[in-house]
Chain A
Amino acid sequence: MSEKATQTIVPGQPVLPPPDFPVSWDDPQDAKITWLTFSPYRVSIRPLIYAVINAFTVGGNIGLEKAGLPFEARMSRINTFAYIGMAPKAAPPEVVMKAMGFISRTAPSMFKVMMGKVGAGMSKQQEAALNPIIEQFDTYWYDELLPGIKQHLAYFESSDLRGMSLDQLRAHLAEAMRRTECIGAIHHKILMPMLFAMSQFEEFYCELFDGVTTLDALRLTQGFDNLTVKSDEALWRLSRTARAIPEVHTILAEHAASEVIAALEKSPTSKPFLAELRGWLAEYGQRLNSVFGLNEPSWIEEPSPAIQNLQAYITLPDRQPELEDVAVVERETAVATARAKLAGYPQPVVARFETLLQAAQLATVVHEDHNVWIDQRFFYHIHRIIMEFGSRLAQAGCIKTAVDIFYLTPEELQTSRDNCLKALVQQRQAEMAHFGQMTPPPMLGTAPPFDLSNGGSMVRAIFKGEMAQANGSQPEANLLQGLGGSAGVVQGTARVLHSLDEAGRLQPGDVLVTGATEPPWTPLFATAAAVVTDSGGVLSHTAVVAREYRIPAVVGASIATKTIRDGQLVEVDGSNGTVRILVEETSHEPALVG
């Protein structure tokens, strides 16, 4: 099935899945809500990884409730693909859907007015829930939530996996699943107010001052130290050390990434550098190549992604002046200008501006820091536990290899002690081989009868964060329209990367084109001239980090990875959110003429 076989979607009506994608619902209620699959989940997912995502999402509902959102998230693994469903909380879903669908068909203009009112009502509810949080945002994060995350990490760090028996590991996995629910709750408890603070500040700034853009607003939040930039900076400094030691420089320049460590170990003059590199990996290497890539090695186990970045960095000259200094000056100038403009405004306006500014500035830091604490470090530990359990199961002959554990569910791992596990693994592998070639239908269940983005200020913020890909379009041949994520215009050769394994192909000055970037990608931003993504909005990870790196970014361009071909010369306009394909550099076909 190809992407082109689009589904017929009638608002408020059941979505018919393609014939080769049979869907049967365990709970008949599930057929009545909208199920969506997003870019990270549009590949077949192994049952154990799905179980972790599910625990995380279910736990996250506590955070959605705290944000005043009138629905809860459910997950379902359908034909090996992960779908998220949003179930309304106030009334049975079919009642809500039917009523809205009926009004929207019979009286579209009245429906619009009604939705405006519903949206305003929802905004009020969400604002009442979230304003008190963002007014105390620093204590909320540093005193209430972060210590909880650190406790989970400390628990994992203190457990001696190697010393555990198979039964102890089994119990430990159950405990880890429970803690994944807890971390999901913490994650959403911070994610919602964080996006809300950034979005409210951006909207308020644009409301106050004529002729300003979203990017102007977000300039007032840039240039603060966050853990992502800090770890990238440390890696950059390591590259400066490497440039200064000829042997190290030669080893990095002439060896494949996977052979660098072995070569450094053999070179006596490289020892101090190797120690520094290991220090960096110990501090920042607790990360997987993708958030739920639990079956792949972390950078501690397989440091090639870090080394590839070093290999690119050593070809780059020193930075003058330091990135963050320029960002800070730009930020402080913009803040001072805004304050001067507001000097004669009523006090409640000034107070609101200061509250939102402070919250949005911290939110921009938390946007990255929570990734490092949760998406990277927490899931690094989950990865370790599963891998240890898997290798013991393999040793005991229950499964063939350690990574086969990912084809089993937590329930099966708790209850089954015999050889049936091997058969289950085979069955799941066959299932994944069958569906793995497909692109899953983006929507299942019942189509929403309304524009989702009309659901109040928090829902708007969520759209600005992660769900903005629907905005991508191609207004003319060779021109892609996305969202401006980071200002500036630059030309470069497009490098379309589908996974971090391909990162070695990115050369200094290239334009990084990808589906969506996750935290482990950010060191590439020092090498890239610009970044373009299919999904994500102005508050997405890509956009936030691109602004810190001061490189242009176009996000939510929807069809970028399908339209732009590797090697083409492109012009990225991060202010206007456009990407223009200039020259078909490596293609032998004649250039397209509009």
Chain B
Amino acid sequence: MNLLWLGDPKSFDAALVGGKVANLSRLARAYHRVPDGFCIPATVLHEMHPSDLYDDVVTAVSALMACHGLAELVTAVRSSAVDEDSADASFAGQHETYLNIVGVEAIVQAIAQCWESAHSERALAYRRQQGLASERPQIAVLVQQLVAADSSAVVFSANPITGSRDEIMINASWGLGESIVGGTVTPDTFVVSKSDQTISSRIIADKQHMTVSVPGGTSEVDVPRFLRSQASLNDEQVLEMAQLALTLEQAMGYPVDIECAYAGGELYLLQCRPITTLP
């Protein structure tokens, strides 16, 4: 087997799958809220061209579809940098993302694009110039089920503005998380008090834009007027997200910044990092 599932301890090794994927894989093991996915370790991509992986991808995709009872699998395909010393991962072709990729053919093609990008003349020249350990590209590729988010959020288990450790702050908006992360929308802001698990502040913004998946990718569109000033999370969802952030903070031992989303009423955890800039 050339592929490793998220949650499989073999994929906890950052040297094999990159730090981001290793982290996600640990979260998947512990919390079950991470969307299912598999990765192709850098070692495999050293030796094989993605087209040689066709049968493995078919097997993995079929297994996911059977597991979720889906007629088609919608995925995000991302490259994951393995050498931590490459300062400019995007320049080195190690930061590719293809969203809303549907079907085995398209998935294999996206993996190939990640691979080709890392093998591009530009990327290779960059590696030579930087005197990196190996001239061979060091990337893994992650194929993960794309959550059709109704609303997405970035949650801080401490208040990043006041520095208060007793407050959880949630920024949430409609659609996929890209508009929040990219700063193209003013999101709703909820503050939850850790001590009594209540929502202490609620600012519902006029949310103008959202990212949605469209055939072949994603697109930023206007939020329909009726939805703009509606809260993107209900109170129950706010508290559930806060609880998840709190659990992760306790498990990690430090304040965390998580990305998560609601899709079809289910909460999904997409990313978890330490907060490095608390006042």
Contacts and interface: CB of A to CB of B under 8 A. Distances in A.
Given A348-B150, A348-B230, A341 B214 contact: yes
Interface in A538-575: none
B212 A345 contact: yes
A346 B148 CA distance: 8
Contacts of B218: 344
Given A207-B224, A208-B224, A345 B175 contact: yes
B213 interface: yes
Contact of B227 (A340, A341, A343, A348): A348
Given A204-B224, A208-B224, A347 B264 contact: yes
B150 A344 contact: no
B80 interface: no
Contacts of B224: 204, 207-208, 349, 352
Contacts of B225: 207
A537 to B, nearest CB: 21
Interface string B129-152: 000000000000000000011110
Question: How many B residues touch the partner, as a band?
Answer: 20 to 34
Interface string A328-347: 00000000000011011111
Nearest to A210: B221
Contacts of A349: 174, 224, 227
Interface in B172-231: 174-175, 210, 212-215, 218, 222, 224-227, 230
A534 B264 CA distance: 49
Contacts of A204: 224, 226
A346 B226 contact: no
Nearest to A203: B225
A348 B213 CA distance: 15
Interface in A327-374: 340-341, 343-349, 352
Contact of B212 (A344, A348, A352): A344
A344 B148 contact: yes
Interface of A is mostly: helix
Contacts of B100: 344
B215 A346 contact: no
A461 to B, nearest CB: 15
A346 B214 contact: no
Given A207-B225, A340-B215, A346 B149 contact: yes
Most-contacted residue by chain B among A340, A346, A349 (CB, 10 A): A346
Nearest to A204: B224
Most-contacted residue by chain A among B149, B150, B230 (CB, 10 A): B150
Nearest to A351: B150
Interface in A231-271: none
Nearest to B74: A344
Contact of B214 (A207, A208, A344, A348): A344
B112 to A, nearest CB: 24
Interface string A261-289: 00000000000000000000000000000
A346 B213 contact: no
Contacts of B213: 343-344
A188 to B, nearest CB: 25
Most-contacted residue by chain A among B148, B150, B151, B226 (CB, 10 A): B226
Most-contacted residue by chain A among B222, B224, B225, B264 (CB, 10 A): B224
Interface in B92-133: 100
A352 B150 CA distance: 13
Most-contacted residue by chain B among A208, A340, A348 (CB, 10 A): A348
Interface in A191-250: 204, 207-208
A416 to B, nearest CB: 57
A345 B175 CA distance: 7
Nearest to A356: B226
Contacts of A344: 100, 148, 212-214, 218
A348 B151 CA distance: 10
Given A345-B175, A346-B212, 5 more contacts: A208-B224, A344-B213, A346-B227, A347-B150, A348-B150
Task: Report, nearest first, the 7 A-B pairs whose CB atoms are least far apart.
Answer: A344-B213, A346-B150, A347-B150, A344-B212, A346-B174, A345-B212, A346-B175
